[in-house]
Amino acid sequence: MTAAPAIVGLGITEVGKVYDRTARDFAADAVRRACADAGISTGELDGLLVLPGLSDDLDLGLAEDLGVRDLKLLNEIRGDGTSACTAITFACLAIGSGMAGMVACVFADAPLRRDRRAGAAYTPQEPPAGFDGLIADAGLAGGHAQYALATRRHMAAFGTTSEQLGAIAVAQRAWARGNPLAQQRDPMTLADHQNSRLIADPLRLLDCCLVSNGGIAVIVASASRARALAQPPVHVLGHAQSHPIHPEGRGSGFGLVSGAARSGPAALRMAGATIEDVGVAELYDCFTFAVLLTLEDYGFCAKGEGGPFVEEGRLLPGAGRLAVNTGGGQLSGYYLWGMTPVAEAVIQARGAGGDRQADDHELVMVSGNGGVLHHHSTLVLGA
Amino acid sequence: MVLRDDRSAPFFDAARRAELVVRHCTGCGELAAPRVRACPTCSATALDWAPVSGAGTLVSWTVLRDRAGGVTAVGGIVELAEGPWLRVRLAADPETLEAGLAVAVAFEHQDDGEPVPVFVPRERAEEGVDGRR
């Protein structure tokens, strides 16, 4: 029996177009739900890691909102899309060192407002001066444009196609149909994807993630305490990060390889596992391309073969042994940054996926991706 | 309209002379993109400026569209002949863009802002974007 710390509680608030609640309110709600799920009172927490999104109201004051006192660990974790896997990693390290024993990690955000379109939340406002001004003038300031540049480079290098990206979107929509929390559950065909409007060529609307309000918390505890709690423990068997920070010049790996190429194998080594052992992969999917690149970089297929690996329905539910983004991911489920894949990984590892439960869920791999493929974090979870 | 700040002032001073400059590491001699604060090769921070030819090749590109499908911007990554990358506006028919396309800089002069380096396919470069280079 492993001595690795475990995720013992999971709390997910209402997610999606849920208006008139603040990120801080969602965060407190998520932590209380996670504690209830674990079968503990909030007063039993002695650590709290707070993961803000775009909203600026979520900070260390959350501890007071929760009424938890005398914490031994209280910090914000800011790592873009890597923050969820990273916070869980630090929670494990704090537990391993004896610094804390029962740590909540919570992400919440409320970028959606009634009075503006979803995309506006993530659109840069006033153009900056200097070099950033040149980037904005070229139309390249937004995340969608920067991921489009990465995607186009992969296409040019390896022949990856929009239809292959579409196969990822279609498969995740099919998975989302089994997830009651998913925001998008209407059937999607490859033609729907190909007919969706171009946002930043080659990326279409259905290559892009959703925008969501909501909060998710997980509780991390030592292996010994985990055994006495309400849920089957989901052990954190491996964790790693990698931040390649490709230089902007000749020979750069931008769009061709991400931090996943080092982070994934390192986390698997720590878990004493190989890529063949992984039955479920919950991969950060701000855009379809991020899934394709992470599949390659983790080694589920060879470099450059992500396109053929995902096409012809190979990622559809039940199509193969490997189940990918089983809750619909950020594309069709909901977008709560790195907590979207983490939450689904915990559900799958517990065997609590219901209609969407993967058969082989002994080892679950989770990715977090931040910046424009600049930052990567990985967890390997197991029962 | 693009405005200068302290850090970009030497870059735009050169652009006003229709000269494209990048960072040059005084430690290892490597060239780097104009926006870097430290040499990506040796991490040194003693950087000066060096002129480059303005010729390059297209690494990647994107065409941004509005909700009605109209093109709002064409931008890409250009690899200069000397090695550094620039993320820039492209003055080209989107249908003609491909990886490795030969491009060259032209400076687009705007009424109030700084001259903006725009890259055009090299066979068109001789003509310039707005009649001047």
Residues A180 and A218 in one domain: no
Residues A361 and A262 in one domain: yes
Q: What is the mean pLDDT of chain A?
A: 96
Per-residue pLDDT of chain B (133 residues; tens, 9 = 90+): 899 999 999 999 999 999 999 999 999 999 999 999 999 999 999 999 999 999 999 999 999 999 999 999 999 999 999 999 999 999 999 999 999 999 999 999 988 899 999 999 997 665 555 444 3
Q: Is B133 on the interface with A (CB under 8 A)?
A: no
Q: Tell me, what's the pLDDT at A242?
A: 98
Contact (CB, 8 A) for A283 and A295: yes
Reply yes or no on whether A284 is catalytic: yes
Catalytic residue among A19, A147, A284, A334: A284
- The distance of A154 to chain B (nearest Cα, Å) reads 9
Residues of B in contact with A254 (CB under 8 A): 77
Question: Per the CB < 8 Å rule, is A255 touching B60?
Answer: yes
- The distance of B62 to chain A (nearest Cα, Å) reads 5
For chain B positions 60-99, those within 8 Å of chain A (CB to CB) are 60-65, 67, 69, 72-77, 79, 83-85, 87-90, 94, 98-99
Question: Which of A191, A226, A261 delimits the end of a domain?
Answer: A226
Could you tell me the CA-to-CA distances from B63 to A126, A160, A335, B3, B94 in Å, in that order?
21, 18, 25, 24, 7
Residues of B in contact with A136 (CB under 8 A): 2
Tell the residue number behind the tokens 């279609």, with chain if given: A170
Q: Tell me, what's the pLDDT at B132?
A: 42
Phi/psi region, residue A203 (left: phi>0; alpha: psi -120 to 50; beta: rest), is beta
Backbone φ and ψ for B50, nearest 5 degrees, come out as -135, 135
Q: Which residues of chain A have pLDDT under 50?
A: none
State the CB neighbour count (10 A cutoff) for residue A250: 15
Tell the residue number behind the tokens 């260390």, with chain if given: A60
Question: Which of A198, A226, A254 delimits the end of a domain?
Answer: A226
Q: Is A17 on the interface with B (CB under 8 A)?
A: no
Nearest CA in chain A to B39: A247
Question: Per the CB < 8 Å rule, is A249 touching B76?
Answer: no
Residues of B in contact with A131 (CB under 8 A): 7-8, 11, 34-35
Q: Tell me, what's the pLDDT at A115?
A: 87
Residues A174 and A308 in one domain: yes
Residues of B in contact with A201 (CB under 8 A): 62-65, 94
Q: Is A194 on the interface with B (CB under 8 A)?
A: no
Cis peptide before A202 (omega within 30 of 0): yes
pLDDT digits (tens, 9 = 90+) for A36-89: 999 999 999 999 999 999 999 999 999 999 999 999 999 999 999 999 999 999
Residues A252 and A218 in one domain: no
Answer whether residue A136 is part of any domain.
Answer: no
Question: Per the CB < 8 Å rule, is B69 touching A139?
Answer: no
Q: Residue A191: in which H helix or E strand, if any? A: helix A190-195
Q: What is the CA radius of gyration of chain B?
A: 15
State the CB neighbour count (10 A cutoff) for residue B60: 25
Q: Tell me, what's the pLDDT at A339?
A: 98
Question: Per the CB < 8 Å rule, is A129 touching B8?
Answer: yes
- Helix ranges restricted to H, chain B: 9-16, 122-125
Q: Tell me, what's the pLDDT at B133?
A: 39
Q: Is A119 on the interface with B (CB under 8 A)?
A: no
Residues A199 and A163 in one domain: yes
Contact (CB, 8 A) for A296 and A160: no
Nearest CA in chain A to B70: A198
SS3 A144: helix
Residues of B in contact with A141 (CB under 8 A): none
- The distance of A246 to chain B (nearest Cα, Å) reads 9
Residues of B in contact with A135 (CB under 8 A): 87
Instruction: List the one residue out of A18, A8, A79 whose CA is nearest residue A38.
Output: A8
SS3 A96: helix
Answer whether residue A133 is part of any domain.
Answer: no
Q: Tell me, what's the pLDDT at A283?
A: 98
Residues A67 and A166 in one domain: no
DSSP string, A255-299: TT--THHHHHHHHHHHHT--GGG--EEE---SBHHHHHHHHHHHT
Answer whether residue A127 is part of any domain.
Answer: no
State the residue range of the domain holding A239. Answer: 142-207+233-383
Answer whether residue A303 is part of any domain.
Answer: yes
Amino acid, res. A284 = Y
Helix axes A83-97, A339-350, angle to 10 degrees: 60
Reply yes or no on whether A19 is catalytic: no
Residues A162 and A268 in one domain: yes
Residues of A in contact with B74 (CB under 8 A): 139
Question: Which of A170, A192, A226 delimits the end of a domain?
Answer: A226
Residues A95 and A195 in one domain: no
- Interacting residues of B73 by C-beta distance below 8 A, sequence separation 6+: A138, A139, A140, A145, B63, B64, B89
Q: Read off the tokens for A147.
A: 């991921």
Residues A238 and A333 in one domain: yes
State the CB neighbour count (10 A cutoff) for residue B4: 18
Q: Give, in degrees to the nearest 5, the angle at Cα A354 between A209 and A235.
A: 80
Pairwise CA distance, residues A39 & A225, whole Å: 12
B117: β partners: B107
Answer whether residue A128 is part of any domain.
Answer: no
Question: Per the CB < 8 Å rule, is B2 touching A133?
Answer: yes
Give how far the C-alpha of residue A296 lies from the chain's centroid of Cα atoms, to the nearest Å: 17
Residues of B in contact with A248 (CB under 8 A): 32-33, 35-36, 40, 84-85, 87
Could you tell me the CA-to-CA distances from B29 to A335, B8, B24, B35, B38 in Å, in that order?
44, 21, 6, 17, 13
Answer whether residue A183 is part of any domain.
Answer: yes
B90: β partners: B119
Counting the structural domains of chain A, the total is 2
Residues A184 and A49 in one domain: no
For residue A99, what is the domain's CATH number?
3.40.47.10
Q: Tell me, what's the pLDDT at B51?
A: 98
Answer whether residue A307 is part of any domain.
Answer: yes
Question: Per the CB < 8 Å rule, is B34 touching A131?
Answer: yes
Tell me the HSE value of B7 on the side-chain side, using a 13 A CA sphere: 13
Contact (CB, 8 A) for B52 and B20: yes
Question: Per the CB < 8 Å rule, is A202 touching B40?
Answer: no
Answer whether residue A1 is part of any domain.
Answer: no
Nearest CA in chain B to A130: B4
Q: Read off the tokens for A97.
A: 């060192």
Q: Is A150 on the interface with B (CB under 8 A)?
A: yes
Q: Residue A218: in which H helix or E strand, if any? A: strand A214-221
Q: Is B50 on the interface with A (CB under 8 A)?
A: no
Residues A162 and A301 in one domain: yes
Instruction: List the one residue out of A381, A365, A363 whose CA is nearest residue A264.
Output: A365
Q: Residue A24: in which H helix or E strand, if any? A: helix A23-38
Q: Tell me, what's the pLDDT at B131?
A: 41
State the CB neighbour count (10 A cutoff) for residue A197: 12
Residues A47 and A23 in one domain: yes
Q: Tell me, what's the pLDDT at A116?
A: 84
- Interacting residues of A100 by C-beta distance below 8 A, sequence separation 6+: A46, A47, A71, A72, A73, A91, A94
Q: Tell me, what's the pLDDT at B125?
A: 60
